[in-house]
Amino acid sequence: MSYSITRLISKSRKPITILFTDIVDSTRLWDVRGDVKGRLLVDQHNRLVFPIVKKFHGDVVKTIGDSVMATFLSPEHALRAAIGIQQALANYRNKNKHFNLEIRIGMHTGMALIERSDVFGDAVNVAARIEGCAKANEILISGRSEKNINRNKYYLSKTMSFIPKGKTTEMAVFKCDWEKLPSQIEGINFNALLPMMGRQRHSMFIYVSGILAMLYFVLHNYLRYIFADQENVYLLSFSPEQILTVHPIMTGLLLTIGLAIFALIKYLSVMPVFLFRLIKGGFGYSVVFALSLVVLANLPDVYTYNSKLIYLESKHLFVEVLQDEALIRENPSLSSKIIKTANTRDLFLLADVREKREMVWNKVLIGADEYGWIAREIPPSFGVAETRLTITNKFYLKYSDLYALSIGLLGFLWGFLSFSIRPL
């Protein structure tokens, strides 16, 4: 057991560049500005740092109080991000006299244990020590990082040597004169993207789950009947070369889209603000639609203005399958040739009904000018009760459904307009 764990941990050990930022005199900042204003300054710092890390192909691992820890595969990308961060903060200080926040940055390249939500190892500790040696507005990098970077291009100069705590070998540290370099932050829209940190991810998971549940309900209770009622569209479901099908592939497609969205939420580090708003709006629609449907369905007609009346009635009768592996036969007989197998919730258009030998058979459309017969019930046998195989009905869109679908739009507006940016 212990060998397996050791082997698994060893496989996660990879070369990486670690970057730390830290706000200078943060204790005094909070004491002078107070908790609220101090927190807002830290939040503004995070919102400047995160998009820059993203631009240079880095990942924000975590925030530790007023510090940010990020990782990069390339030391040069990490340095360019550090330069961009200092430039962005300098620009913001020039534009806003109340923003006097200054940071120090340290970075180091080495081997580290990379896990899904954190990074561990010697490289992390060394990077933190180097950051602690930096002064306000400085960028310090280790000699190991400097070996992979053009010293002259980035105005790197050796500033000191020190022995990190717990080490026995002296390490060279280089300073980047970033003020001499051209802007690294051209084209970055600091307000267009929001970081996907813990609370944002949790909110998105809840919102998307609600939206998918609502979409599945609408698909299963409304859309599949409306699509199937159009015979030309319905027949597409029996044509393998057609991408668009009625059921059950639409449900599978919805599930696939949902899984893809969950994967994106899990691994994306930023998301457009407008998409945040749309997702919260969709969640608001889902909640208000569900509540409206429950309330309207249980109110007397006198209060719902004939909500129980039918708004839309299907042209066809549907045969819905209630059991998996239900057999469709060539003729209405248990001895007839099996031509198709149906599963639970499959829909077929009813063409005819025939009673034969005390069994009721439904003639259903299974393809272009192709029909088959499926029993309504499986007759009882010794020790086995009668089993209902299919149910025949029409689709009705009631006014209560229509009202709920319409009222849901108010929930969308509420969600879209009430979206607020949480502090990072």
Query: Residue 364: CB partners within 8 Å, gap ≥ 6?
Result: 319, 328, 348, 349, 350, 351, 371, 372, 373, 374
Cα dihedral sign, 163-166-168-171: negative
**pLDDT confidence tier of residue 243, bands split at 50, 70 and 90:** very low
d(CA 320, CA 340): 15
Quick: pLDDT tens for 360-386: 999 988 877 789 999 888 877 766 677
- Return the pLDDT at 154: 92
Q: What is the pLDDT of residues 329-351, one digit of tens each?
A: 999 988 899 998 888 888 888 88
Q: Token pair for residue 161?
A: 């040597």
Q: Measured between alpha carbons, how far is residue 106 from residues 123, 243, 288, 389 in Å?
A: 12, 53, 49, 69
CA gap 87, 246 in Å, rounded: 55
Determine the pLDDT at residue 42.
Answer: 78
Q: Where are the domains of the chain?
A: 2-191, 198-305+402-417, 317-393
Q: What is the pLDDT of residues 53-63, one digit of tens each?
A: 888 988 888 88
Residues 332-341: contacts with CB under 8 Å, at least 24 apart: 332/356, 332/359, 332/361, 332/363, 332/373, 333/373, 334/359, 334/375, 336/373, 339/366, 339/372, 340/366, 340/372
CB 333 within 8 A of CB 356: yes
User: What's the pLDDT score for residue 79?
Assistant: 95
Q: Find where tokens 């006097």 sit.
A: 100
CATH, range 317-393? 2.30.30
Instruction: Please list, residue by residue across 143-179, b when 16 or more beta carbons sit within 10 angstroms of its beta carbon and e when fewer do.
Output: ebbbeebeeeebebeeeeeeebeeeeeebebbbbebe
Q: In this structure, are residues 66 and 42 in contact, taking their beta carbons and an 8 Å threshold?
A: yes
Residue 72 has pLDDT above 90, yes or no: yes
In this prediction, residue 195 carries a pLDDT of: 62
Burial of 388 (0-12, 13-18, 19+ CB in 10 A): exposed
pTM: 0.58
Tens digits of residue pLDDT in 151-182: 899 999 998 887 777 677 788 999 999 999 99
| Separation between Cα atoms, residue 380 and residue 389, nearest integer Å | 12
**CA-to-CA distance for 157 and 374, rounded, in angstroms?**
83
Which pLDDT score, from 0 to 100, does residue 141 have? Answer: 94
The better pLDDT of the pair 298, 396 is held by: 396
As given in the structure block, the two tokens for residue 33 are 């500005």
What is the rounded CA–CA span in Å between residue 175 and residue 144?
13
The pLDDT tens digits for 312-327 are 888 889 888 888 888 8
Among the listed residues 193, 140, 137, 135, the one whose alpha carbon sits nearest the alpha carbon of residue 19:
140
pLDDT greater than 70 at residue 233: no
Percent of the chain with pLDDT over 90: 23
Specify the fold of 2-191.
Alpha-Beta Plaits (3.30.70)
Residue 20 near residue 69 (C-beta atoms within 8 A)? yes
